[in-house]
Structures are given as C-alpha cells and as structure tokens.
Amino acid sequence: MTSQSSKQQIIIENVFEDYNIENDRLQSTPYELVLIKNSVDDLLAHLSQTVVAIINVGIPVTAELISQLPSSVKVITKLGVGYEKIDVHMCRRQGIEICYTPDYGTNTVADHVVALLVAAQRRLLTFHNSIVQKHQWYYTAAGNLKELNAMTLGIIGCGRIGTYFADKMRPFVKQILTHNSKDLTTNTLKEIFEECDIISLHIPMSTSNYHLISYESIAQMKRCPILINVSRGGLIDTKALVQALKNGQISFAALDVVEGEPNIDEELIKLDYVLLTPHAVWYTEESKRALRT
C-alpha cells in the first residue's frame, strides 16, 4: 500500500530509534522519508512513481527486485560501507546510480579492532570467565601468554580502515605484514598465513573472497594465530574455524561478524576461545551521526 503525497519519496528501512536528523534535512526540500520494515515484501508494497531513491540497510537488492522498481527510482544508497548485497550490474543496466558511505566511522572501527585484538591477545574473556564462573583467581588461567611486541600482525586488506588500524598498531607489534595494499608493503596470503601471530580481515565480501579462511588456508597457518574478522561473516568458513579452534590451529577468534548473523553456529558459541560482538564495530554516537548526515 503506497502513501499519497505530493512530495517525491525516499524509502529507508526502519533501523534507528528516530529519524529527526533525516527529516530535519529534508524539511525544505521536495523529498520525504518513507519508513519500511526490513523485508522485500514491504519494500514492494511501498513502491510507486513518486519513489526516487532507496536507502538500503539489509534487504538484498537482487536483479529480480531491481526489475520491479519503478522507472522513477534513480538512486540506491547503501547505509554503510559494503554493498555486496546490491546487484550493481543490474542497477547499471537500469540506469540506477549506486552510492555508499565509505568515510564514516573509520576511527571507530579501528578502535574496535584494537580492542578485539588486545582482548584476544591478553585472553581477557578467559580470565573473566575463570573468576566469575569457576571462582578461580589464577594468573595462569589463560595459559601461556606472549608479549604483543613479539608478535607479527597480518592485515588482509589495507583500505581506509585497514590502513588506520595498521597505524594504530605499528608501535605495539614486532612487525606488520599486509596483503592487497596500495600504500604499505604488500605480502602474499601465503606469507601472512605462515608468518603471522595475529591475522585481521579488512576486505569486502565478493565471490572470490568467499570462505577466504577455509580448511586449506588454515592448514597453511604455522603460528596458531589469533583471527579477527570485522568485515563480513562469509569470509570465514565457520565449520573450518570451529575445527581449527578445537585442534589449536587457531588459538583465538575475535569476531564482529559471522556467517548467517544474527543466527550463530551453536558449536562456535560454545567454544572458550571465541569473543563475539554483534556487528557493533561501526557504532559510536559520533559515527552514527556521521553515517546519517
């Protein structure tokens, strides 16, 4: 069911507590915001020739969906960095521009990755659980720990966030190896897998990157690394990760994203050496405002 309005409409999935920022900015324009549920059916129900743009959060924008959009839709904007759920090729065929928001929250994300890294490297969750669940007060509860400045950090993907993260970590680690970087020394994936004590993923999701961390790549890891993922859950084969954590091929996993989120593999949740955050790496009040403005 479409609403009757003389204004052109911008559809957005309803994910924030209010839309005062957006409505204030649109107040003196010929546009108005239309809130929908996070579902394809609700999006289709709100389509009309008055809709000129769609702000996408989580709905997969497939070729089938794009083919049903009215000709009035000229722009699809991804609220965030990754736009892998949008069929870019089909949008181009239909004359629809794709926009996204790559510059917001860079510092916020990098800070969160640093926090995950330190929490994993110092086994803070293990210490906490030992005290709270087992009522033990032992400095040995987390096993043998290594100095951070003796570790080699591998960063796969050095765009804005990866580079910022590297800058933050450079004073604290022995060395940094990077892959697929324009500005820093580039290493092969094989070198990173074989030589790094910590591996952090900062690449977009694509067909070629799907399950980059697999049984095969884990088998190349010689140093039982800490694995960090704040990019997309599909970069890691969850079954392979669970097996690697169980047999010690990977010593710890710190994950802000997982396959199938928010539904998480039950075996993964039960493991001791896993730290999870709920796709929160982007969030501070400052970064949320930057995203919305």
Strands (DSSP E) contained in 46-146 are: 51-56, 75-78, 97-99
Placement of tokens 């993964």 in the chain: 268
The amino acid present at 158, given as its one-letter code, is C
Say which of 25, 160, 279, 292 is annotated catalytic.
Answer: 279
**Catalytic pick from 13, 179, 232, 259?**
232
Closest Cα to residue 101, out of 253, 275, 291, 293?
291
DSSP alpha helix (H) spans, 141-281: 160-169, 189-195, 215-219, 238-247, 266-270
Angle between the N-to-C axes of helices 285-292 and 106-121, in degrees from 0 to 180, rounded to the nearest 10: 150
Catalytic annotation on 261?
A: yes
CA-CA-CA-CA dihedral for 36, 32, 289, 169, to nearest 10: 70
- Distance, in Å, from the CA atom of 59 to the CA atom of 38, rounded to the nearest integer, reads 6
Q: Is 93 a catalytic residue?
A: no
Query: Residue 148 in contact with residue 168, Cβ under 8 Å?
Result: no
Report the distance separating Cα 178 and Cα 155, nearest Å.
5
Note whether 206 and 86 are within 8 A (CB). no
Residue in 84, 194, 195, 261 annotated catalytic = 261
Please list the active-site residues.
232, 261, 279
